Chains A and B, each alone.
Chain A
Amino acid sequence: MEFTFAMSVGVLTTAGIYLMLRAQTFPVILGLTLLSYAVNLFLFASGRLTVNGAAIVGHSQAYADPLPQALVLTAIVIGFAMTAFVLILAIRARSDLGNDHVDGRELPPERSAMEDALANRIEKNQARQNRSRKKPANHQQAQQNNVKRKPT
């Protein structure tokens, strides 16, 4: 049980920190939420894990430490209020700043490697076409210039 418990705290924390490092406010908030879940589980375990134990002495053979449960309750309430606040703030930031980047500026859209390769090829093609088109164009222009100059 300890292993499962520790793993779930670890996975939640990892996912939370990963999401917190993203550039958009919404994933950041999700990350904060996951992190607060991880914290709540962790606090719960700080009084050691007890199976089949009530938090009141005398009601069962073993008893669980009641204090961490009280702490978790407080932490959940505070975390809930803070998450509500940060959500509203994020919506406000979205409307005030015009985008949901954490630094308040637009990002260029992300491209995958394949899109990159495609875009590269398109650019190259266009460049080649331009070069092949330019030559006659220049030639014509030069001729036109010559034509124009002649009468003067």
Chain B
Amino acid sequence: MQNLLNRALKVADAGEVYKRDVKTASVSLKMGKLKDIQGEKKREVSLRINKGDRMGFAVSNSLEDETIVERALVALENQESKAAEFPSESPRMVFSYSQEVEKLTTKDLTVMVYKLHDRLNRKAPDVPTAISIHKTIKRVALKNSSGFYESYDYSNLSISLGTITEKGFMGASKEFSSGKVTEITDRELDYLLEMHKLGRTQITLENERLPVIFSGKVMGALMLRVLGGVHGGNVLKGVSPVKNRIGEQVFSEKLTIRDDGKMNFGVNTCLFDDEGTPAKNTIIYDKGKLKSYLVNRDQAKKLGQEPTGNAIKRSLFSKEIEDKPSVFDTNLIIEGENREDELMIKGVKRGILITGVMGAHTGNINQGDFSLNISSGYLIEEGELKGQVKGAMVSGNIYELFKNVEAIGMRYEVMRSIFYHMGYSPMVLFSEASIVGK
């Protein structure tokens, strides 16, 4: 890394070399038969240079790439991104890595998927299933000309469990994602099978306004919109609905949202972000009151706040390095006044529990609009789940919906944005949302 930095500093005033070594393995089992088994060992490298008041950026997968400095210079000369100061502050320790996960071989993962299949099969021999396990190990290092030279290890084990309907389509599903090996309980398997069974009773709704419970996983679709509002870049561009609203009561008092890059073994836990800012625990909304935006170093300077450790080299649809660091979530955490999940459902006279949606990436995300197909949702009547809702949509705007939080559940699930996981949330009950039925 030092050699590349030295080469860069021959043409630039300051430089930063980022290196990420990634190893993955994934195994999936569908209807009791193993599907493709995949593995990967890749290196990703990126270089940022500052010269005068400009910044340049280039990507490769080798530290020896002879063109990377030249490409960063071409970028620097042609773009108007201002140089951001490279940090020198050393980060403190986080728990982002488990040796137990790294030691799992592909064969171990194969045994794990079969065991999960057997457990589900013993409980419900007539229900076909789809199970997948994905293991990731990363070694991330960052060296810059301000004297910062740090690295950290990361591990993740993500498990997806699903059932298959009588017509061969995906039925109920559950996802798990953690930095360490976690046991899936019988209760969680029972829940999955119960949801599958409910799918056999199909219910059509009218167009109506109903209380709605979003499951922890599905809260990700709404949190994408929350993120669009507190994204430092959108605030600076003036397209955030919460621009200049720090300190204002924006959401219900029952809701607190934070972004915790330091969370032990979280799905996106890191020692430092991809600019070298140490991971932080940032309260975004404290009891509904807007407390902070999520910002990179450049945006922090412009907005007069501290960088929050959210500069990540990825895009909405790719975890490969394709752009300069942009603002993304680390581990978004939703918390507040808790109520037992079962009690929450029991308290609903007529409403919907939504456990799967489509269309999270459509509509005006930054403005908070959503119009989601309920791909998996269940009608609740007099506190009981009655059957699966067919062909309905839920639509609205999070700045209205999040004012109407009734209760927040207890059991945390990993949230899904579109392709990726974005933190953890329990189920959340909103007093009313617009449902488009038949």
Q: Is B a genuine binding partner of A?
A: no
